[in-house]
Amino acid sequence: MSIATVEFSKKDARRLSAQTLRRVRAGMERDGAVAFGNLFPIALLKKLRSEVLRRHDSGELREKGLVRDIGGRYAAVLPFEGPFLNPKFYANPILHEMLGALLGSSYCIGSLETVIAMPGAGRQHQHIDGPIRFERFVRGKKRAFPGDLSDLPPYAVTLCVPLCGVDEDNGPTAIWRGSHRAALRARPPGEARVARDYPVERMIGPLGRSFFFDYRVFHGGMPNHAREPRPVLMFVFTRSWFRDPNLADVYPRVVIARRNLKRIPDRHRALFMLAPASRRALWRKKHPLSV
Protein backbone atom coordinates (compact mmCIF):
# COMPACT_ATOMS: atom_id res chain seq x y z
CA MET A 1 0.00 0.00 0.00
CA SER A 2 1.24 3.51 -0.69
CA ILE A 3 -0.06 7.05 -0.91
CA ALA A 4 -2.77 7.20 -3.59
CA THR A 5 -1.99 8.99 -6.86
CA VAL A 6 -4.79 10.59 -8.84
CA GLU A 7 -3.93 11.20 -12.50
CA PHE A 8 -6.01 14.00 -14.01
CA SER A 9 -7.15 14.03 -17.61
CA LYS A 10 -8.79 16.69 -19.84
CA LYS A 11 -12.19 15.31 -18.79
CA ASP A 12 -11.52 16.32 -15.17
CA ALA A 13 -10.96 19.95 -16.16
CA ARG A 14 -14.73 20.27 -16.71
CA ARG A 15 -15.84 18.64 -13.45
CA LEU A 16 -14.29 16.12 -11.11
CA SER A 17 -16.25 12.91 -10.77
CA ALA A 18 -17.78 12.04 -7.40
CA GLN A 19 -15.57 8.95 -7.42
CA THR A 20 -12.37 11.01 -7.77
CA LEU A 21 -13.44 13.32 -4.94
CA ARG A 22 -14.16 10.27 -2.79
CA ARG A 23 -10.67 8.90 -3.55
CA VAL A 24 -9.07 12.18 -2.55
CA ARG A 25 -11.02 12.36 0.71
CA ALA A 26 -10.40 8.72 1.51
CA GLY A 27 -6.66 9.09 0.78
CA MET A 28 -6.40 12.16 3.00
CA GLU A 29 -8.27 10.40 5.77
CA ARG A 30 -6.18 7.23 5.54
CA ASP A 31 -2.70 8.58 4.82
CA GLY A 32 -2.88 12.34 5.38
CA ALA A 33 -1.58 12.78 1.83
CA VAL A 34 -2.61 12.23 -1.81
CA ALA A 35 -0.45 12.67 -4.92
CA PHE A 36 -1.53 14.08 -8.27
CA GLY A 37 -0.39 13.80 -11.86
CA ASN A 38 -1.14 16.62 -14.33
CA LEU A 39 -2.79 19.02 -11.89
CA PHE A 40 -0.95 21.89 -13.61
CA PRO A 41 0.25 22.13 -17.23
CA ILE A 42 4.01 21.56 -17.54
CA ALA A 43 4.38 24.88 -19.41
CA LEU A 44 2.96 26.74 -16.38
CA LEU A 45 5.22 24.81 -13.98
CA LYS A 46 8.25 25.79 -16.07
CA LYS A 47 7.25 29.46 -15.84
CA LEU A 48 6.80 29.19 -12.07
CA ARG A 49 10.19 27.51 -11.79
CA SER A 50 11.93 30.23 -13.84
CA GLU A 51 10.37 32.92 -11.66
CA VAL A 52 11.42 31.17 -8.43
CA LEU A 53 14.97 30.47 -9.66
CA ARG A 54 15.33 34.04 -10.94
CA ARG A 55 14.42 35.37 -7.49
CA HIS A 56 16.68 32.74 -5.87
CA ASP A 57 19.69 33.47 -8.13
CA SER A 58 19.40 37.23 -7.60
CA GLY A 59 19.35 36.75 -3.81
CA GLU A 60 16.00 38.57 -3.64
CA LEU A 61 14.15 35.58 -2.18
CA ARG A 62 16.37 35.42 0.87
CA GLU A 63 16.63 39.17 1.20
CA LYS A 64 12.90 39.91 1.02
CA GLY A 65 10.98 36.73 1.81
CA LEU A 66 13.06 34.58 4.16
CA VAL A 67 11.02 32.64 6.72
CA ARG A 68 13.64 30.12 7.90
CA ASP A 69 17.05 28.82 6.81
CA ILE A 70 18.17 25.63 8.51
CA GLY A 71 20.79 23.11 7.42
CA GLY A 72 20.98 24.25 3.80
CA ARG A 73 17.21 24.37 3.27
CA TYR A 74 15.48 27.70 3.21
CA ALA A 75 11.84 28.75 3.01
CA ALA A 76 10.71 32.08 1.62
CA VAL A 77 7.32 33.70 1.05
CA LEU A 78 6.58 34.32 -2.63
CA PRO A 79 4.55 37.25 -3.92
CA PHE A 80 1.55 36.66 -6.20
CA GLU A 81 3.16 38.28 -9.20
CA GLY A 82 4.00 37.28 -12.76
CA PRO A 83 3.06 33.63 -13.43
CA PHE A 84 1.73 33.25 -9.87
CA LEU A 85 -1.10 35.59 -10.86
CA ASN A 86 -2.21 33.18 -13.56
CA PRO A 87 -5.67 31.85 -12.50
CA LYS A 88 -4.58 28.46 -13.85
CA PHE A 89 -2.31 28.42 -10.81
CA TYR A 90 -4.17 29.98 -7.87
CA ALA A 91 -7.74 29.27 -9.08
CA ASN A 92 -7.23 25.88 -10.70
CA PRO A 93 -10.81 24.48 -10.70
CA ILE A 94 -9.76 20.89 -9.96
CA LEU A 95 -7.66 22.05 -7.03
CA HIS A 96 -10.58 24.05 -5.61
CA GLU A 97 -13.10 21.28 -5.99
CA MET A 98 -10.80 19.07 -3.93
CA LEU A 99 -10.17 21.78 -1.35
CA GLY A 100 -13.90 22.38 -0.95
CA ALA A 101 -14.37 18.67 -0.26
CA LEU A 102 -11.69 18.83 2.46
CA LEU A 103 -12.01 22.29 4.00
CA GLY A 104 -15.62 23.33 3.40
CA SER A 105 -16.73 26.44 1.56
CA SER A 106 -14.85 29.18 3.39
CA TYR A 107 -11.16 28.53 3.19
CA CYS A 108 -8.44 30.89 2.12
CA ILE A 109 -4.80 30.98 1.13
CA GLY A 110 -2.74 30.62 4.31
CA SER A 111 0.62 31.27 2.64
CA LEU A 112 2.63 30.64 -0.51
CA GLU A 113 6.23 29.67 0.15
CA THR A 114 9.02 28.09 -1.77
CA VAL A 115 11.34 25.69 0.04
CA ILE A 116 14.72 25.37 -1.62
CA ALA A 117 16.97 22.52 -0.54
CA MET A 118 20.45 23.56 -1.59
CA PRO A 119 23.03 20.99 -2.76
CA GLY A 120 24.38 19.44 0.44
CA ALA A 121 21.24 20.20 2.47
CA GLY A 122 20.86 17.72 5.31
CA ARG A 123 17.88 15.76 6.52
CA GLN A 124 15.22 18.00 8.01
CA HIS A 125 13.76 17.01 11.37
CA GLN A 126 10.44 15.22 11.31
CA HIS A 127 7.63 17.66 12.15
CA ILE A 128 4.01 18.65 11.68
CA ASP A 129 2.90 22.11 10.59
CA GLY A 130 0.68 24.27 12.80
CA PRO A 131 -0.68 22.06 15.59
CA ILE A 132 -3.91 22.87 17.46
CA ARG A 133 -3.61 21.82 21.09
CA PHE A 134 -6.10 23.82 23.19
CA GLU A 135 -3.71 23.70 26.13
CA ARG A 136 -4.49 25.46 29.39
CA PHE A 137 -2.12 26.96 31.88
CA VAL A 138 -3.21 26.27 35.46
CA ARG A 139 -1.19 27.37 38.49
CA GLY A 140 2.03 27.53 36.49
CA LYS A 141 1.50 24.16 34.77
CA LYS A 142 0.70 23.49 31.16
CA ARG A 143 -2.27 21.12 30.86
CA ALA A 144 -2.88 19.36 27.57
CA PHE A 145 -6.44 19.01 26.35
CA PRO A 146 -7.35 15.58 27.77
CA GLY A 147 -9.74 14.59 24.96
CA ASP A 148 -8.78 13.03 21.67
CA LEU A 149 -8.63 15.50 18.80
CA SER A 150 -7.47 12.87 16.35
CA ASP A 151 -10.81 12.73 14.57
CA LEU A 152 -10.91 16.42 13.71
CA PRO A 153 -11.37 17.04 10.01
CA PRO A 154 -8.46 18.84 8.31
CA TYR A 155 -8.13 22.54 9.13
CA ALA A 156 -5.20 23.21 6.81
CA VAL A 157 -3.87 21.45 3.74
CA THR A 158 -0.63 22.10 1.87
CA LEU A 159 -0.31 21.56 -1.84
CA CYS A 160 3.36 20.76 -2.45
CA VAL A 161 4.34 21.47 -6.04
CA PRO A 162 7.90 20.38 -6.86
CA LEU A 163 9.39 22.65 -9.54
CA CYS A 164 11.75 19.93 -10.76
CA GLY A 165 11.78 16.17 -11.00
CA VAL A 166 12.37 14.73 -7.54
CA ASP A 167 14.25 11.48 -6.98
CA GLU A 168 15.83 9.74 -3.99
CA ASP A 169 18.96 11.82 -4.49
CA ASN A 170 17.86 15.44 -4.67
CA GLY A 171 15.81 15.74 -1.47
CA PRO A 172 12.29 14.33 -1.62
CA THR A 173 9.79 15.21 1.07
CA ALA A 174 9.25 12.21 3.34
CA ILE A 175 5.76 11.59 4.70
CA TRP A 176 4.92 9.22 7.54
CA ARG A 177 1.69 7.80 6.16
CA GLY A 178 -1.28 7.97 8.50
CA SER A 179 0.62 9.81 11.24
CA HIS A 180 -1.79 12.79 11.08
CA ARG A 181 -4.17 10.68 13.18
CA ALA A 182 -1.71 10.68 16.08
CA ALA A 183 -0.50 14.29 15.89
CA LEU A 184 -3.22 15.87 18.04
CA ARG A 185 -3.29 13.32 20.83
CA ALA A 186 -2.87 14.78 24.30
CA ARG A 187 0.61 13.20 24.18
CA PRO A 188 1.77 13.30 20.56
CA PRO A 189 4.28 10.58 19.61
CA GLY A 190 7.98 11.41 19.39
CA GLU A 191 10.14 10.93 16.28
CA ALA A 192 11.16 7.32 17.04
CA ARG A 193 7.58 6.26 17.77
CA VAL A 194 6.30 7.86 14.56
CA ALA A 195 9.03 6.11 12.58
CA ARG A 196 8.12 2.80 14.23
CA ASP A 197 4.34 3.03 13.93
CA TYR A 198 3.89 4.65 10.52
CA PRO A 199 5.44 3.69 7.16
CA VAL A 200 7.52 6.42 5.53
CA GLU A 201 7.12 7.34 1.89
CA ARG A 202 9.42 9.64 -0.10
CA MET A 203 7.46 11.76 -2.57
CA ILE A 204 9.44 11.24 -5.76
CA GLY A 205 8.30 11.75 -9.35
CA PRO A 206 8.82 13.73 -12.53
CA LEU A 207 8.01 17.44 -12.92
CA GLY A 208 4.19 17.51 -12.99
CA ARG A 209 3.65 15.41 -9.89
CA SER A 210 2.33 17.34 -6.89
CA PHE A 211 0.71 16.30 -3.65
CA PHE A 212 -1.58 17.38 -0.84
CA PHE A 213 -0.63 16.81 2.73
CA ASP A 214 -2.64 17.38 5.87
CA TYR A 215 -1.06 19.96 8.19
CA ARG A 216 -0.98 17.29 10.89
CA VAL A 217 0.95 14.62 9.06
CA PHE A 218 4.55 14.11 10.21
CA HIS A 219 6.92 14.93 7.36
CA GLY A 220 10.36 16.34 6.59
CA GLY A 221 12.72 17.10 3.73
CA MET A 222 15.43 14.52 2.93
CA PRO A 223 19.07 15.42 2.11
CA ASN A 224 19.91 16.88 -1.29
CA HIS A 225 22.94 14.97 -2.63
CA ALA A 226 22.57 16.43 -6.15
CA ARG A 227 24.37 19.41 -7.67
CA GLU A 228 21.29 21.52 -8.30
CA PRO A 229 18.97 23.20 -5.80
CA ARG A 230 15.62 21.44 -5.29
CA PRO A 231 12.79 24.02 -5.31
CA VAL A 232 9.24 23.17 -4.28
CA LEU A 233 6.19 25.36 -3.71
CA MET A 234 4.28 24.97 -0.47
CA PHE A 235 0.85 26.43 -1.26
CA VAL A 236 -1.14 26.38 1.99
CA PHE A 237 -4.94 26.55 2.25
CA THR A 238 -6.67 26.89 5.61
CA ARG A 239 -10.15 27.13 7.04
CA SER A 240 -10.79 30.87 7.34
CA TRP A 241 -10.31 30.94 11.15
CA PHE A 242 -7.00 29.09 11.33
CA ARG A 243 -3.67 30.94 11.58
CA ASP A 244 -0.45 28.97 11.49
CA PRO A 245 1.35 29.71 14.79
CA ASN A 246 4.68 28.98 13.05
CA LEU A 247 4.15 32.12 10.98
CA ALA A 248 3.24 34.30 13.97
CA ASP A 249 6.16 36.66 13.26
CA VAL A 250 5.76 36.68 9.48
CA TYR A 251 3.95 39.63 7.91
CA PRO A 252 2.44 39.55 5.41
CA ARG A 253 1.85 35.83 4.97
CA VAL A 254 0.03 36.44 1.72
CA VAL A 255 1.74 38.99 -0.52
CA ILE A 256 -0.21 40.61 -3.31
CA ALA A 257 -0.07 44.25 -4.39
CA ARG A 258 -3.34 46.20 -4.28
CA ARG A 259 -3.27 46.73 -8.05
CA ASN A 260 -2.91 42.96 -8.59
CA LEU A 261 -5.65 42.14 -6.10
CA LYS A 262 -8.00 44.39 -8.11
CA ARG A 263 -7.31 42.17 -11.13
CA ILE A 264 -8.43 39.04 -9.27
CA PRO A 265 -12.00 38.15 -10.33
CA ASP A 266 -14.57 38.76 -7.55
CA ARG A 267 -15.33 35.05 -7.17
CA HIS A 268 -11.72 34.35 -6.17
CA ARG A 269 -11.03 37.46 -4.08
CA ALA A 270 -11.89 35.84 -0.73
CA LEU A 271 -8.99 33.45 -1.25
CA PHE A 272 -6.69 36.42 -0.58
CA MET A 273 -8.45 37.57 2.61
CA LEU A 274 -5.20 37.39 4.64
CA ALA A 275 -3.37 39.79 2.33
CA PRO A 276 -3.04 43.28 3.84
CA ALA A 277 -4.48 44.73 0.61
CA SER A 278 -7.75 42.86 1.35
CA ARG A 279 -8.19 44.20 4.87
CA ARG A 280 -10.29 47.18 5.90
CA ALA A 281 -7.96 49.64 7.55
CA LEU A 282 -9.56 51.29 10.60
CA TRP A 283 -8.15 54.14 12.70
CA ARG A 284 -5.71 54.96 9.94
CA LYS A 285 -7.14 57.98 8.14
CA LYS A 286 -8.59 60.99 9.89
CA HIS A 287 -12.36 60.50 10.07
CA PRO A 288 -14.25 63.38 8.37
CA LEU A 289 -16.28 63.99 11.57
CA SER A 290 -13.37 63.88 13.99
CA VAL A 291 -11.99 67.09 15.48
Ligand X SMILES: O=C(O)CCC(=O)C(=O)O
| Positions 183 through 212 that interact with ligand X (CB under 6 A) | none
Sign for the pseudo-dihedral over CA of 50, 51, 52, 53: positive
State yes or no: residue 254 binds ligand X (CB under 6 A).
no
CB 180 within 8 A of CB 216: yes
Tell whether residue 94 is a contact of ligand X (CB under 6 A): no
Work out how close the CB of 104 gets to ligand X at its nearest, in angstroms, rounded to a whole number. 25
Q: Would the CA dihedral through 221, 272, 56, 94 be positive or negative?
A: positive
Question: Shortest gap between Cβ of 101 and ligand X (angstroms)?
Answer: 24
Give the CA distances from residue 35 to residues 18, 65, 88, 94, 175, in Å, rounded to whole numbers and listed in that order. Answer: 18, 27, 19, 13, 12
Q: According to the binding rule CB under 6 A, does residue 75 interact with ligand X? A: yes
**Residues 139-178: x where in contact with ligand X by CB under 6 A, - otherwise, as a string:** ----------------------------------x-----
Q: Work out how close the CB of 73 gets to ligand X at its nearest, in angstroms, rounded to a whole number.
A: 5
Distance CA 211, CA 8 (A): 13
Distance CA 179, CA 158 (A): 15
For 91-124, letters b (16+ CB in 10 Å) and e give ebebbbebbebbbeeebbbbbbbbbbbbeebeeb
Q: State yes or no: residue 79 binds ligand X (CB under 6 A).
A: no
CB of 124 to ligand X, least distance (A): 6
Instruction: Using the minimum distance from each CB to ligand X, give the nearer residue, 23 or 202.
Output: 202
Q: Is 181 in the site for ligand X (CB under 6 A)?
A: no
Report the residue number, 62 or 96, with the smaller CB distance to ligand X. 62
Show contacts with ligand X in window 17-56 (CB under 6 A). none
CB of 121 to ligand X, least distance (A): 8
Q: Which ranges of the chain would DSSP assign to H, the alpha helix?
A: 10-14, 18-31, 42-57, 60-65, 87-90, 93-103, 191-197, 258-262, 266-269
Residue of the chain from 115, 159, 161, 274 that contacts ligand X (CB under 6 A): 115
Binding part of the chain for ligand X, among 88-96, 131-139, 187-195, 213-221 by CB under 6 A, reads: 213-221
Q: State which residue, 20 or 214, has the beta carbon closest to ligand X.
A: 214
Q: How many CB atoms lie within 10 A of CB 41?
A: 13
At residue 119, the 3 state secondary structure works out as coil
Q: How far is the CB of 57 from ligand X (least distance, A)?
A: 19
**Residues at the contact surface with ligand X, assessed by CB under 6 A:** 73, 75, 115, 117, 124, 173, 219-221, 232
